Structure 1
Amino acid sequence: MATTPKPLIAALALPLLLFAPPRAAAEDTTFQAPPAAKILEAAADEYVQSNGLHVRWSAVTYELSTGHQAEVFVEVDGLGRGDGYIFVESEILVHVSHDPDARDGTITTWIAPDITLPEAALLELPQVNVAEELFAGIADPRATKCSNFGKKAVKAAKYIWIGLSAAAGAACCAVTTAGCPLCVGGATVVGAVGADIANDYCE
């Protein structure tokens, strides 16, 4: 019997994750959250580009129950554009870009083609406590919480977090088709909860 190529599985899963209704997903009681990640380090800072644009970044390094070390890195500028990455053992697993001026504010996503991580590790990549640390770093630019720049930064980071969660879920689906519904459910829930955390800032 023919099997679906793993990159195609990830490609098929990603739209389902990105466009799943967040509220319904967040209220899904069938999803069992993975063990909370052990936060190893959280850092954030900002710099000014040569064109005068401020850029804010936030990074969270954490340990999975499998022993793997992961890092989420998000960087956004004063125009609300940004990039996000998930690294595992210093290797890029997924990359997400967001540009509010692009058509439909499209998020573009890259997923590593050759994924060797176990399903358990992939299920734990998007984590609620990681999102909390990430947004705490993004939300306080120039020591002025929720300044005009801060609001744009948090909004961009929210969409990037949803994209990263979706991409991690799609990567999980590429590793195990049998567990794909669990990957989709987990990534959608954590993405939605992370978005809610972002929405709590700057209201």
Structure 2
Amino acid sequence: MISTFPRIVRYVANFEKLSIPATLSWLTDLEMSELSFWKDLSRRNQWLAGRWVAKRILTRSTQTNQMREVEILSRGEDGLGRSPTISISGLATSYRLSISHSNRAILVGLSHGSDRIGVDVVTDIPEASTFRSRWFTDQEAKWIQTDAPSRLPIAWALKEAIFKACGQGSKWNPRLVELVSMDRNRVFSRINGIAAEPLTMWTRTTINGAIAAVWSENIAQEVMLCS
């Protein structure tokens, strides 16, 4: 059953508290193939937790009986990462999915059709000055400097979330995304020098970083936030 629901953003601060089954029968054969890409145990566990949260959201929202009926794929035939695609019971869907994980934190965003969405989790901010010069424009650096402890992780998370929402398959480069201005819960940006559509944003600082979600503006729909 394919249904329509408001955008959903789900944040899990510590995925180790999730009841993820030891058996991987909830993954499809192709998903198992993608899992094999991750050799590091920590990264495998993060990947599994992100998929578990995303599949739980989809099965509950679409009244799908089994998690294995939901298939999420995010690697092309060349082995490179790509925007996730979702099929339910073998049928392609128009859902848009964004997943981010770092250490034990998981953030998942889900939307429909042309509604863009992107999420990012940031932890362990680099201290080196070269990091800021590589990642941020002079204008962004000035904005960050007024309150670096909170603004630096938020700016980092927003740039990645915007890229996931609007990057259209381009290779990630932090300088491709420029934060132009913010107005309450809206963010204005440029991608590759071209103005991107205004996006609604949701940000939070965490103990060791920040989380951010952005999505297409649509006054006809509300977002469902869970934390």
TM over 0.5, shorter chain: no
- Structure 1 or 2, whichever has the larger Rg, is 2
Query: Higher helix share goes to which structure?
Result: 1
TM norm structure 2: 0.26
TM-score in terms of structure 1 length: 0.28
